[in-house]
Amino acid sequence: MKPIATFQDLLIKCNTENKKIYEIAQQEEAKFAECEISEVRKNIEAVLSAMQDSIKEGLNSSELSMSKMVGADCEKLKNYYTKQNGIFSPQLQNVIKYALATAEQNARMGKIAACPTAGACGIVPAAILGISNAKNASNETIINALLTAGIIGKIVAAKAALAGAVGGCQNECGVAAGMAAGAVVEILGGTNEQILNAAALAIKNILGLACDPIAGLVEVPCVKRNPFLAVHSITAAEMALADIQSIVPIDEVIDALKQIGALMSPALKESAQAGLATTQTGLKITESLNKIWNS
């Protein structure tokens, strides 16, 4: 049987079989892994458990990364929300905290679930669990959302590499935001079309994002990009649920993603040769870290 290579293929299959995207995702994964759907869902539950653990550990730690650049900001955010009402609703505050907690865990070499990459590890779990917790969603619903996110990432990966070194941060945090947006729409009962539209809205509005980490570490600006893009994904989901559509279909958005990545200078693709990495501050930090590591 012809594999699902495009989002149009996915939508046609969903319509033909009268199924939701997550149902097709688990069906395809079971076929690929030569196992039962129940085993696929069990494996996804293990991924969910890892996400929950990384959030919990991240929320309870203020340990700095080896570079000392990141690790204590989630604690600051928690303290702020304890003292102030904040601008966002409690559920969006949780989304921000969860994303920051997970990304900081990654920076301090804690266990995380790469979704789709380690540098973008906080976006999908933060959006899914932040909204799921607010809506008291069941584990089954959360697993459905993760399956939805997974097949979105899988189809993108078949067309464009997910590494920042290949296509910039648009391919990491941008794709993660698309995965998260689609997953949130699934949690909130949206249609297949709304799910894919949410992913398109999230990805197309972050096209061109460079990957310019200071000292080549997945820390600055990577860690803070996770909460920003997690909220970005919620915006896309809300717009899609309101039937606001991306004029450009998602398959064409991914074509644009790939094209922009190819046109982007290698200096802006995880090489630390431009952008924030070569600001005056960025170069000073790099020089300081090099002295420590080379001593």
Q: What is the mean pLDDT of residues 225-239?
A: 98
pLDDT of the residue at 118: 97
As for how many domains the chain has, the answer is: 1
Selection from 207, 185, 196, 109 nearest residue 141 by Cα: 185
Q: What is the mean pLDDT of residues 121-133?
A: 98
What are the backbone angles phi and psi of residue 269, rounded to the nearest 5°?
-125, 75
Determine the structural domain holding residue 247 and report its residue range: 7-294
Q: What is the mean pLDDT of residues 156-169?
A: 96
**What is the value of pTM for the model shown?**
0.97
The predicted-structure confidence for 21-78, as pLDDT tens digits, reads as follows: 999 999 999 999 999 999 999 999 999 999 999 999 999 999 999 999 999 999 999 9
Residue 2 lies in a domain: no
pLDDT of the residue at 1: 57
Residue 216 lies in a domain: yes
In sign, the C-alpha dihedral spanning 14, 20, 21, 24 is negative
Spatial separation of the C-alpha atoms in residues 128 and 150, rounded to whole Å: 12
Residue 224 lies in a domain: yes
Q: Which percentage of the chain shows pLDDT scores above 70?
A: 100
SS3 4: coil
> Residue 294 is inside which H or E element, if any?
helix 280-294
Residue 184 lies in a domain: yes
pLDDT band at 3 (very low <50, low <70, confident <90, very high): confident
Residue 1 lies in a domain: no
